[in-house]
C-alpha cells in the first residue's frame, strides 16, 4: 500500500543512501528540518569521517542516525533497511572520466548496488523508494528540451551503468509492485560539491590559480541549485501518483560552459584566461553536447519551481568554495 505522507514527515522513518555525498547531505538536512527520523547511510571509512554531513550544524547532526556501510553488500542493506518507511537511494559512483578507467566499479556500485537496495526494500516492505538517476542517461540531445521519452544512450560507462540501474528499478515496480519513483536530475550545483564538477572547478581555479583550465566550452547544461533539488526529492516522495514513474527535474534553461565561466568570473570580479586542456575533453563519441530539461511531466505530479536563479546559487557556491578552498586541489584534474 502506498504511503500517504500528506506533506507530514514528522517521526517518519527515512533512510538516505549516499547521505555523505553532495545532494545526499542537503537532502538529509531538509528531511531533518521537516522532523523526519533520518538514518544517514555513508560509505564506510576507517577515519570515521561523515563527509559532507560534517557541514550540518551540531543540532542537525544530533538528529541523524549515521551508519556506515556499502550498497554492494546485500545483507547489510537488508539489515539497515529494517523498519524504514521511505528510502532515498543516492549512493552511486558518479564521475564520468573515472568511469573510463574503472568501468567494472560502476557496474558493481550502480547496478548491483541498486539491486541490493531494491531487494532490501522489497523484503522489508518499504512503502516508498525514490531512486536517483541522471540526465546523462539521455546522452547528447536528439531533441531539446529532453522529456522522459527521449532515447537513452550509454555514452560513457557511467551513463550505461545508470541506465542499467534505472531499468532494474522499473522491473521491481512491474514485477513486485514496489512503490518506486526514479528521479532524473539534470545538472545540480551548490555548496559541498567536489571539484569533479565544472562549477567548483571554475571557482577553485579562479581563487587559486593563474588560469582556468577546462575541457570543451561548447556543451550546454541545465543547472539546478542543490537546495531546490533537495526540495524536489521530498515532493516527489510525497506524491501518490509518482510510483512507477521516471520524472525529470531541471529548470528548463540551458547555458554553455563558456557562458558559465564568464558568469562566475563576473560575479567574482575576476579576470583570468580560460585555457582548453586536451586531457579534460571527453572522447568525441562520449561527449554530451546538450542537456536541457523538459519538466512538464514533473509539473503534472508536483508543485515545484526553482527558488534560486543561477546567479543567486553561484554566489552561495562561491562563498562556500572560498571558505573551504583547502578541500579543492585546484592545480590537479579531479577525475
* Residue ranges of domains in the chain: 13-257+263-327
> Is the pLDDT score of 42 beyond 50?
yes
Percent of the residues in the chain that have a pLDDT greater than 70, as a whole number: 98
| Residue 35: alpha-carbon gap to chain centroid | 22
The pLDDT assigned to 46 comes to 86
Half-sphere exposure at residue 301, Cβ-oriented, CA atoms within 13 angstroms: 24
For the CA atoms of 306, 252, 309, 15, the dihedral, rounded to the nearest 10 degrees, stands at: 40
pLDDT score of 45 more than 90: no
Threshold 0.85, pTM exceeds: yes
Whether 272 contacts 206, CB under 8 Å: yes
Per-residue pLDDT at 329: 81
Cα–Cα distance measured from residue 80 to residue 75, given in angstroms and rounded to the nearest whole number: 9
Classify residue 227 as left (phi > 0), alpha (psi -120 to 50) or beta.
alpha
**pLDDT confidence of residue 7:** 62
The per-residue pLDDT for range 267-304, each reduced to its tens digit, is 999 999 999 998 888 898 889 999 999 999 999 999 99
Task: Quote the pLDDT of residue 279.
Answer: 86
Residue 177 region by backbone torsions, left for phi larger than 0, else alpha for psi between -120 and 50, else beta: left
Q: Count of alpha carbons within 13 Å of 107, Cβ hemisphere only?
A: 7
Residue 1 has a pLDDT of 41
Over the chain, what is the mean pLDDT? 95
In the predicted model, is pLDDT for residue 227 greater than 80? yes
Is the predicted pLDDT of residue 218 greater than 70, yes or no?
Answer: yes
pLDDT tens per residue across span 76-112: 999 999 999 999 999 999 999 999 999 999 999 999 9
Among candidate residues 80, 103, 159, 98, the one with its CA nearest the CA of residue 334: 98
CATH topology of domain 13-257+263-327: Rossmann fold (3.40.50)
Amino acid at each position: 500500500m502506498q504511503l500517504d505522507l500528506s506533506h507530514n514527515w514528522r517521526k517518519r522513518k527515512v533512510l538516505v543512501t549516499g547521505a555523505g555525498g553532495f545532494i545526499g547531505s542537503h537532502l538529509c538536512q531538509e528531511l531533518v528540518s521537516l522532523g523526519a527520523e533520518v538514518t544517514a547511510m555513508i560509505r564506510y571509512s576507517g577515519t570515521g569521517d561523515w563527509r559532507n554531513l560534517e557541514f550540518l550544524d551540531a543540532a542537525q547532526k544530533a538528529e541523524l542516525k549515521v551508519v556506515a556501510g556499502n550498497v554492494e553488500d546485500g545483507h547489510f542493506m537488508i539489515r539497515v533497511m529494517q523498519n524504514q518507511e521511505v528510502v532515498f537511494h543516492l549512493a552511486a559512483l558518479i564521475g564520468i572520466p573515472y568511469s573510463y578507467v574503472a568501468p567494472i566499479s560502476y557496474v558493481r556500485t550502480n547496478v548491483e548496488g541498486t539491486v541490493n537496495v531494491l531487494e532490501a526494500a522489497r523484503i522489508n516492505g518499504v512503502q516508498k523508494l525514490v531512486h536517483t538517476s541522471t540526465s546523462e542517461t539521455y546522452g547528447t540531445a536528439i531533441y531539446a528540451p529532453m522529456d522522459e521519452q527521449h532515447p537513452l544512450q550509454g555514452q560513457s560507462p557511467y551513463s550505461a551503468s545508470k541506465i542499467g540501474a534505472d531499468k532494474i528499478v522499473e522491473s521491481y515496480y512491474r514485477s513486485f509492485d514496489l512503490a518506486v519513483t526514479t528521479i532524473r536530475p539534470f545538472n545540480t550545483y551548490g555548496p559541498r560539491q567536489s571539484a569533479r564538477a565544472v562549477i567548483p572547478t571554475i571557482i577553485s581555479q579562479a581563487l587559486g590559480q593563474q588560469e582556468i583550465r577546462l575541457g570543451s566550452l561548447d556543451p550546454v547544461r541545465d543547472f539546478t541549485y542543490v537546495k531546490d533539488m533537495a526540495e524536489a526529492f521530498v515532493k516527489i516522495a510525497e506524491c501518490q501518483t509518482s510510483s512507477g514513474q521516471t520524472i525529470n527535474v531541471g529548470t528548463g534553461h540551458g547555458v554553455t560552459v563558456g557562458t558559465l565561466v564568464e558568469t562566475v568570473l563576473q560575479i567574482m570580479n575576476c579576470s583570468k584566461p580560460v585555457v582548453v586542456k586536451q586531457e579534460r575533453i571527453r572522447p568525441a563519441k562520449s561527449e554530451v553536447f546538450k542537456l536541457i530539461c523538459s519538466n512538464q511531466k514533473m509539473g503534472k505530479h508536483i508543485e515545484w519551481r526553482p527558488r534560486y536563479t543561477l546567479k543567486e546559487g553561484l554566489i552561495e557556491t562561491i562563498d562556500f568554495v572560498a571558505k573551504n578552498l583547502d578541500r579543492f586541489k585546484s592545480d590537479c584534474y579531479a577525475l
